[in-house]
Each structure stands twice: as structure tokens, then as C-alpha cells.
Chain A
């Protein structure tokens, strides 16, 4: 039963979503069924949110208790979760500092701490790209050298000064890079991967709907 029930639910919901895709949205009873099913996903997701909060607090607390390496960061995690969550859940009628509106504690922490920290993490990506590019573009073989030359040309073309210099060269280099490198070889490979991935996703969906694949339930 533990396996059968989810498979039946997956079949019924999957088939319903496939059928409603081909029906007009104005069709009585079934037209809006797919949207309603997707709403159910959000509702179920809301219920599981508590599981997430319990998980993060329990794991962090255990690390603090056992004084594992980096345990003091976990204190910051616990404090952050509580300081962000509790005032945002309290009713605004009690105080304008509660809730999630502008001027609330949650809003202040989000704007002044969380958003800058996320922006900082994103900004560090530039350094990671530099180190990854260094490794990827080392000209060890003929293929790697070709990749390096192409990458240098594309990067050069992407900056205004580079494009200006390329324009000084004989032949229309920017046009060549755009047409044959970016919209030629690059796009062809990307499309090949996308078509393969789309077919793979569709095949996996079908295997799940028909109950052939049950590995997502930990079976098989």
C-alpha cells in the first residue's frame, strides 16, 4: 500500500494533466483542473515548510551541542532563523515592526543583511569563473587550443573595445563570430542537448505516470 497508493496518485494526476493540456481552459469541470492541481502542490508545500524549519534547527543545534568544527556559525544560523521568522509571523496589528511589510523587522533584515549577502555571493562568481576558465582553457591538446582561441575571440567580441578592435581587422570578424561561432556551432550543440534533455524528461515522466519507474519512491 505504501508504494501502490503513490503510484496510483501519480498515474491519475499525470494522466489528468496530460489530458487537460489538450482541452480548452473554458471547458466546464476539467478546463481549470491542471491549475487547481498545481495549487494543491503549493498548499502541500506550505505544510512541509515546518519540516524544513525543524530540520535546520535540529541539525544546527546538534552541531552546537557536539561542538563540531564551525559550531559557532550554527549559532548564527539558529539566531537568524528565529529573528527572521518570529517577527514576520506575528500580526501587524500588534506592532508595525511585525509582519513582512516595509518598515518591519523582517523587511529591515532582508534589505540590509540578506540581500547584500546574496549579492556578495553572486559577485564572487567572477573569481570562480576565472579559476575554472584557467583550468578549462589550458592549451594541452589541439582541441583545447581550438577551444581557447574560440573563447578568446568570443570574449573579445563581447566587450565594446574588443569589438572596436575586431572591426579594424580585414573581413567582418564580429559578423563571423556571431554567425558561425555563436549562432552556428554553439547553438547547434545547445539545441542538440536541449532536444535530448526534453525527450529524456518526457520519457521519464511517462515512465513515472505508467508506474514503470518507482525509483523516486525509493523502490526498484
Chain B
């Protein structure tokens, strides 16, 4: 019996490879552009501009800031985005000496969160104010997590609640409870099915890509913002492709079977 033949390279993923190459090139070009000091325009994201103001409110009221980096594991990019933003928020709470509480659902997120918050406190010269239990593991189950956090909100009444990351059915349980507790709330998630709940119950909501842009936006570092411009370029390319597809489908343009299947795959 002979060995089954196979190709080392997956030909069915050539379109994805082309997209990866184009995307990477766009990001690297704009990053280099930014490194050279060329000006980059970024539109305002009110939800992110409100973070410092929201922490300031908590400071004035003498109440804590609650930050939830989603309820997913650390292998999810939304959680990493949430952890990245946590670093910026922790720097502000450290500067204002405002208590910060970060409940998490996974031990790996706990370890990463503790490291990020500690580094943020060291970065602003407030290492002595850092407490390991600011970031705490509360429950491994989704609704046990929601129940614990809701209980915390009603007892401690945090002035500011920030939700950044992956959320599921508990999104509304958390956001509505925060609303009832009178907290100012900022949320961000890449999951479109949870966005309406956050929009209804929170003061500011970051939608989809804004969550991933947040760390670059808050850092004000040109090199990181260059990546956002590369992303915008890809978005324009996708819009052009969609428009081309719509026109060709509407007018039944014959573009050949091979190109058509490739176009559909893209």
C-alpha cells in the first residue's frame, strides 16, 4: 500500500496568504512612516477619552474603579486587548491613588493581570500602592462570576465600571447592575451580539475594532498608531472588493469561473 500523496503547502489557503502579506505590508509601511515622524490623524474615540474623566470621578467620590477584562481565556485576542487597556487604566488609578478591583475568571488572566497592574504602578512610581489582590480570581463559571461581580457592585458601589474584552450572556447582567448602582460605565467588545446590551446600559461603548485600537490610542505612540493606519488601508481595500463584487453580481459580469471562485473565497 503506497503512502497517500499530499502537498506540503495548503493551496486552498493561498487567498488567506495573500491577505496576510498585504495586511502585514500595510502595517509595516505605516509603522515605518510613523517612526520617521510623519503626522498621522486618528479620529476621536469618546469612550477612551472618557476613561481618565471616569477614574477622576471615582477619585472625587472616594470609591473604587472596577475593571473586567472579559470572561475569556488569555488565548483570546479580546482578552489580550482587555489586559493591554488595563495597564493604561492602572496607571491612571495609580496616579490618582484610586482603589482598583479587577475580577477575573481564569488563573492565566489572573497572572497576566497582576503583572500588568504591578508594572503600571511601578511605571508611575507608586510601587508601594500596588496590592496583589487588586486583581483577583472570583469564579470559574460564567454565572458564578456574574453573581460575584454583581454582589460586589451592589455592596462596594464602584464609581466607575470598565468592561473591555470578550463577554457573553452575562454582559447585560453586569452592565444593568452597574447602571442600577449608579456607576459611570465604559464597555468595549468585539462581539456584535453583545453590543446592543452595552449600548443600552453603558455611558460609552467601544465597538469592534475600537477595542483593539484602544491600547494604541491611549499610548499616543506614533509607532503603534501606524498599525491602525495600515488597518484602515485594508478596510478600504475590502470595501473596494465588496463594491466590485456587488457591481459584478448586479450586472452579471462574466469574470471567468476560476477568478469568480477566488473572488468569492476572498
Instruction: List residues of A whose CB falls within 8 A of some B CB.
Output: 18, 21-24, 26-27, 38, 41, 44-45, 48-53, 55-56, 58-59, 62, 69-70, 73, 114, 117-118, 121-122, 124-125, 128-129, 131-133, 135-136, 190, 193-197, 199-208, 210, 212-213, 215-220
Contact = CB atoms under 8 A, between A and B. Distances in A.
Size class of B's contact patch? 35 or more
Contacts of B151: 70, 73
A74 to B, nearest CB: 10
- Scoring A204, A213, A217 by chain B CB atoms within 10 A of each residue's CB, the highest score goes to A204
B201 interface: yes
B235 A45 contact: no
Interface string B194-211: 011101110000011111
B13 A114 contact: no
B221 A220 contact: yes
List 8 tightest A-B contacts by C-beta distance, closest first.
A218-B119, A200-B212, A200-B209, A197-B208, A52-B107, A121-B143, A48-B107, A196-B209
A63 B16 CA distance: 52
A196 B119 contact: no
B173 A196 contact: no
B72 interface: no
Nearest to A70: B155
Contact of A132 (B13, B77, B120, B200): B200
B147 A216 contact: no
Contacts of B45: none
A199 B231 contact: yes
A129 B172 CA distance: 7
A203 B27 contact: yes
21 contacts: A18-B20, A23-B9, A24-B8, A45-B106, A49-B107, A118-B144, A122-B169, A128-B176, A136-B199, A193-B192, A197-B192, A200-B208, A200-B213, A201-B212, A203-B227, A203-B230, A204-B77, A215-B84, A217-B119, A218-B87, A220-B224
A197 B200 contact: no
B156 to A, nearest CB: 8
Contact of A136 (B16, B73, B200): B200
B223 A212 contact: yes
A202 B80 CA distance: 12
A23 B73 CA distance: 26
A197 B190 CA distance: 6
B71 interface: no
A135 B147 contact: no
A190 B190 CA distance: 11
Contacts of A202: 23
Contact of B123 (A49, A53, A218): A218
B227 A52 contact: no
B98 interface: no
B31 interface: yes
